[in-house]
Amino acid sequence: MPFTALCPADAIGENTSKQFELSGIKLFVVNERGVFYAYRNRCPHLGIELQWQEDKFLDFDGEMIQCATHGALFLMHNGECVAGPCRGKSLESISCTVIDQQVSVDLEELDLSQHP
Ligand code: FES
């Protein structure tokens, strides 16, 4: 499956996040100091969405991904949970890159058997 463009790269500022739905898959993208990472929008604790409000996935300092339900903290660059009830588990990573100034993702490696 080819990469699919989500939005212009400048639409997701440094240390902010944005959510999307693509082919029925809910995902979000974070920008950690200019590098983009995409994850499936599903907390490994209860399998529910993580955002606090629309497009808000980061903690107060914009340094980590934080689940709104029980506050689990995840590293932005690899999705590993480092604190909270699912510590040691990880968000499902999605291939993400910038092509022609567009943040783009490839869902091919996602395990769709666990959809949604
Ligand atoms: S559902 Fe995310 S920490 Fe509990």
Residue 115 in any domain: the answer is no
**Band of pLDDT at residue 73, cut at 50, 70 and 90:** very high
User: What per-residue confidence (pLDDT) applies to 110?
Assistant: 78
3-state secondary structure of 104: strand
Q: Is the dihedral of CA 46, 48, 32, 78 positive or negative?
A: positive
Q: Taking 90 as the threshold, does the pLDDT of residue 113 lie above it?
A: no
CA gap 39, 31 in Å, rounded: 12
User: What per-residue confidence (pLDDT) applies to 115?
Assistant: 52
Residue 20 in any domain: the answer is yes
Q: Taking 80 as the threshold, does the pLDDT of residue 116 lie above it?
A: no
Residue 77 in any domain: the answer is yes
Structure tokens at 41: 């929008």
User: What per-residue confidence (pLDDT) applies to 23?
Assistant: 87
CATH number at residue 12: 2.102.10.10
Q: List the Cα angle 10/18/96 in 5-degree steps.
A: 75
Q: Taking 60 as the threshold, does the pLDDT of residue 66 lie above it?
A: yes
**Band of pLDDT at residue 37, cut at 50, 70 and 90:** very high
Residue 80 in any domain: the answer is yes
Please state the atom number of ligand 1 nearest to the C-alpha of residue 71: 3
Residue 86 in any domain: the answer is yes
Residue 114 in any domain: the answer is no
- Mutating to test ligand 1, I would choose from 69, 73, 80, 92 the residue with most ligand atoms within 8 A of its C-beta, which is 69
Residue 116 in any domain: the answer is no
Q: Taking 70 as the threshold, does the pLDDT of residue 17 lie above it?
A: yes
Residue 94 in any domain: the answer is yes
Range 36-43 average pLDDT: 98
Q: Is 70 in the pocket of ligand 1 (CB under 6 A)?
A: yes
- Structural domain of 10: 4-109
Q: Taking 70 as the threshold, does the pLDDT of residue 28 lie above it?
A: yes
Q: How many domains does the chain have?
A: 1
Q: Taking 70 as the threshold, does the pLDDT of residue 1 lie above it?
A: no
- Mutating to test ligand 1, I would choose from 45, 57, 66 the residue with most ligand atoms within 8 A of its C-beta, which is 45
- Find the 23 Cα to ligand 1 centroid distance in Å: 24
